[in-house]
Amino acid sequence: MTTSLPPLQALRALEAAARRCSFSRAAEELHLTHSAVSHHLRGLEEQLGVELFRRAGARMIPTAAGAQLAERVRHSLDDLRDALDAARRGAPGSHGATRLELSAMSDFLSIWLIPRLGDFYDQHPLIDLSLHMHADVAPPDPYSVDIGIWHRRVDEPGFQIRKLLDDQVIAVCSPALLARYPNFTIEDLPTMPLLHFSRRSWLDFFEAAGLQAAEPERGPVFNDAGMLLQATVNGQGVATARLQLAQDYLTRGDLVQVGHVRIPASLDYFFTWRDGHPREAAILQFYRWLKGKLAG
């Protein structure tokens, strides 16, 4: 007699709950109620005759059987998605394209990556990207996308992680603003209108420049590097910026470097994908293109 398979929604609930160690967070991810997730998992336990989760404080920890089953379900869902993608590629008008879900830090995505994607599509016309913007320093759920470009490493086994570059921070302003200081020296910097980035202090830059100056108390504060650079281009003040993000503005002449001081960037970018990903060949094509552009 053939054993009937559990409902797909129950298997998805198992995989999400095991990964997140929480029925509530699994419910949020799957757009279900907490009680629906609990119902699915109780039904699985009854069908299999085995305990799948144990409570540990506020966390729901998968048992050995639950963790093993969740891992196999995860790979099976990946295979199913890959099969569906293959079917779509065979549909009229699909031309055999592979789609990758990419989550990237908002500044890297909007300032650096998007202006260059035309070149990627020219070189790899059979790869389509779905772009998701991420703003927090901590990475999101790494299983939710195919590729992550985030500030911090994923603190879970089973992922490939590559540091993208060693970047530096410089001070920049508009040419019109700098022209208001015809005899500018670096000692004049603290007297200029200064813009603040919420993840970076001016003190490190002042110290590297040999200036005895306190952290400025006045001036607008930005939590997004794209907004910060736009305000700088519009002549609202001097900002510190990652050289990689400011480079296009400097090349076009929209911004100029203030002084010659450079300090190391405090946050890196890490390129992340799952071990054994079914679309790893396409992921590696994108990674190699990205590294080539950064090197250039």
Same domain? For 252 and 184 the reply is yes
Residue 31 inside a domain? The answer is yes
Q: Look up the domain containing 63 and give its range.
A: 8-77
Region 74-97: what's the mean pLDDT? 68
For the stretch 226-235, pLDDT in tens is 999 999 999 9
Amino acid at site 99:
R
SS3 readout for 148-193 = EEECCCCCCCCEEEEECCCCEEEEEECHHHHHCCCCCCHHHHHHCC
92 in a structural domain: no
pLDDT in tens, 47-76: 999 999 999 988 999 999 998 898 888 878
Q: What is the pLDDT of residue 138?
A: 92
Whether residues 284 and 150 share a domain: the answer is yes
Give the mean pLDDT of 120-146: 93
pLDDT value for 115: 95
**Residue 253: what residue type?**
G
Residue 19 forms part of a structural domain: yes
Q: What is the CATH number of the domain that holds 129?
A: 3.40.190.10
Number of helices and strands (H, E) in the chain?
Answer: 11, 13
- Report if residue 134 sits inside a domain: yes
Distance CA 8, CA 213 (A): 62
Residue 1, pLDDT score:
40
User: Is pLDDT above 90 for 78?
Assistant: no
Same structural domain, 260 and 288: no
Alpha-carbon distance 208 to 195, whole Å?
Answer: 18
Whether 106 is in a domain gets the answer yes
| Mean confidence (pLDDT) of the chain | 90
Least confident piece of the model among 96-100, 204-208, 242-246, 290-294: 96-100
3: in domain: no
The CATH number of whichever domain residue 27 belongs to comes to: 1.10.10.10
For residue 90, being part of any structural domain is answered with: no
Placement of tokens 């095991």 in the chain: 18
Average the pLDDT over 5-29 and give the result: 89
Q: What is the pLDDT of residue 50?
A: 93
Residues 146 and 234 in one domain: no
- Alpha carbons 109 and 245: distance in angstroms, whole number: 10
- Report, as an integer, the average pLDDT of 22-45: 90
pLDDT of 177 reads 95
Q: Are residues 156 and 282 in the same domain?
A: yes
Rounded to an integer, what distance in angstroms lies between the CA atom of residue 23 and that of residue 10?
12
**Same-domain status, 154 and 283:** yes
pLDDT higher than 70, residue 166: yes
pLDDT of amino acid 96:
65
For residue 79, pLDDT over 90 is answered with no
Percent of the chain whose pLDDT exceeds 90: 68
Q: Confidence class of residue 90 from pLDDT cuts 50, 70 and 90?
A: low
Taking 60 as the threshold, does the pLDDT of residue 95 lie above it? no
Residues 197, 140: one domain?
no
Cβ neighbours of 215 (radius 10 Å): 11
Q: Each residue of 242-268: pLDDT tens digit?
A: 999 999 999 999 999 999 999 999 899
In a domain, 116, yes or no: yes
What span, in angstroms and rounded, lies between the C-alpha atoms of 197 and 221? 6
Structurally, the chain folds into a number of domains equal to 3
User: Does the pLDDT value for residue 2 go beyond 50?
Assistant: no
